[in-house]
Amino acid sequence: MSKYLGKKFFLNLFIVICIFSLDRISKFYVINLSKNNDTNILLLSKYLNISLTWNEGIAFGLFSFNKIFFYNLMTFLILIVVIIIFIMIMKNAGLKQFSLLIIFGGAIGNLYDRIYFNAVPDFIDFHVGNFHWFIFNVSDIFITIGVLLMIAMELIDYKKGADEKI
């Protein structure tokens, strides 16, 4: 256990706390601005809207349910995934560990909201004309970056392994 509580532990903890805090601050700001202005639409522009929506599903509003049983089951499954990511963080190093840390930071941000609000506040809406991407939040940004880093590392490792076989 002492090997996990060294200098690296505090750096990793700092990364997760920064991501979680940035997410909390952004959500707190948007939720309060929405309450104070009595509207969910806070900014409209050519390519970006800030519009508060409450996501009861998983990533990008997928699998939204009205039934409390399914919501609680999904929240429990997400908790299991967060625990698995935490275990993977302990077993990895380098860029892979960093990728898992930023996924973990974003995941606990959204998990906190699922437990506290029974929904995740999403508010960033990129669009081109009438085509709108899924509405997301700061946690989703970090989760996506972490997943993209993991995919890139796997592709690089696969390419390196294929080159070594030649």
List the catalytic residues.
Answer: 122, 140
Burial grade of 59 (CB within 10 A; 0-12, 13-18, 19 or more): middle
Dist CA 52 CA 120 (whole Å): 10
126, β-bridge pairs: 48
Query: Cβ neighbours of residue 32 under 8 Å, at least 6 residues apart?
Result: none
